[in-house]
């Protein structure tokens, strides 16, 4: 083969600048939103130039897509590895709820969700990707745990997938929506803990097999 198959190892060439730009852009977009963010702000914070941004990402749209895809992975990785499903259901629920809230209430995660909602109409494919890579995987995680508990006869639930969504909604929906709107209670950590406790209580009463009140 004459000259076509030149095996390039052009790795660290522009990768550094690309990362710098992407990190700066993520901060800017999360802080100002899509409309409020400008390429100039990104350039300034990254210490790069406009032309480089355009050569890497094509434009503001491409930059936005790159941000979402990279960030979902990073946030989800914080959710960690599937742990052992031990048999104290209420304790396990409270534990996974706590980790869930740490992840989804983090400013970055809230900002990303806000971006998806704000621009979902203009970028529907991106929103779908976000849900597939993010929330849906988390739901599936808990659904698996619920299935195991059901097989062991510890709980009574028709549809583990739906029940998982219900549980996370009980834990997070209200606080998460207020966070997205920029409205949060003063003692956030206390509010989160109470939300978890009450969610576990109602949910547990809803799925337990015997009937006596807690």
Partner DNA sequence: GTCTATATGAAGATAGAC
Partner DNA sequence: GTCTATCTTCATATAGAC
Which residues lie below 8 Å from residue 201, measured CB to CB, with a gap of 6+?
Answer: 214
Cβ burial 173-198 (10 Å sphere, 16+ → b, else e): eebbeebeeeeeeeeeeebbeebbee
Environment class of 171 (CB within 10 Å of its CB; exposed 0-12, middle 13-18, buried 19+) = buried
6 binds, among DNA, its own copies, none (CB under 5 to 8 A by kind): none
Residue 40 is a binding residue for its own copies (CB under 8 A)? no
Site string for DNA, 54-83 (x = CB under 7 A): xxx--xxx----------------------
Nearest to 188 by CA among 179, 201, 180: 179
Sketch the per residue contact string, 19 through 38, with DNA: x for CB under 7 A, - otherwise.
Answer: ------------------xx
Q: How far is the CB of 189 from DNA (least distance, A)?
A: 36
122: tokens are 């203009």
Nearest distance from residue 77's CB to DNA, in Å?
A: 27
- Among 78, 140, 181, 188, indicate the residue that binds its own copies (CB under 8 A): 181
Q: Is 144 in the site for its own copies (CB under 8 A)?
A: no
Residue 41 within binding range of its own copies, rule CB under 8 A? no
Among 1, 16, 84, 121, binds DNA (CB under 7 A): 16
Distance set, CA 172 to CA 14, 43, 55, 110, 193 (Å): 40, 36, 40, 12, 11
- Tell me the closest approach of the beta carbon of residue 204 to its own copies, in angstroms: 8
Q: By CB under 8 A, which span of 15-23, 44-52, 140-148, 175-183 interacts with its own copies?
A: 175-183
Choose among its own copies, DNA, none what residue 185 binds, the Cβ cut-off being 5 to 8 Å by kind.
Answer: none
Q: b/e string for 46-66 if b means 16 or more Cβ within 10 A?
A: bebeeebbeebbeebeebbbb
Q: Which is nearer to its own copies, 3 or 183 (CB)?
A: 183
Considering only 13-21, 73-81, 84-92, 106-114, which stretch makes contact with DNA by CB under 7 A?
A: 13-21
Using an 8 Å Cβ cutoff, are 58 and 66 in contact? no
- Comparing CA positions, the residue from 158, 163, 145, 154 lying closest to residue 95 is 145
- Exposure on the CB side of residue 89, measured as CA atoms within 13 A: 22
Question: Would you tell me which residues interact with its own copies (CB under 8 A)?
Answer: 32-36, 114, 116-122, 124, 127-128, 130-131, 156, 158-159, 162-163, 165-166, 169-170, 173-174, 177-178, 180-183, 198-199, 201-207, 209-213
């Amino acid at each position: 083969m004459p000259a076509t198959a030149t095996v390039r190892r052009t790795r660290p060439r522009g990768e550094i600048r690309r990362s710098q730009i992407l990190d700066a852009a993520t901060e800017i977009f999360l802080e100002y939103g899509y409309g409020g963010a400008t390429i100039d702000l990104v350039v300034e914070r990254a210490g790069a130039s406009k032309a480089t941004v355009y050569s890497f990402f094509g434009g503001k749209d491409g930059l936005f897509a790159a941000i979402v895809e990279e960030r979902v992975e990073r946030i989800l990785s914080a959710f960690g590895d599937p742990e052992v499903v031990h048999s104290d259901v209420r304790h396990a629920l409270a534990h996974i709820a706590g980790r869930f809230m740490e992840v989804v209430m983090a400013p970055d995660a809230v900002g990303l969700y806000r971006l998806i909602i704000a621009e979902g109409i203009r970028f529907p494919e991106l929103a779908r990707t976000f849900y597939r890579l993010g929330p849906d995987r988390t739901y599936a995680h808990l659904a698996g745990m619920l299935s195991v508990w059901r097989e062991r006869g510890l709980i009574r639930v028709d549809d583990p997938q739906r029940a998982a969504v219900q549980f996370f909604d009980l834990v997070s929906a209200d606080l998460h929506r207020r966070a997205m709107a920029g409205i949060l209670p003063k003692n956030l950590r206390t509010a989160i803990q109470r939300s978890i406790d009450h969610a576990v209580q109602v949910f547990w009463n809803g799925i337990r097999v015997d009937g006596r009140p807690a």
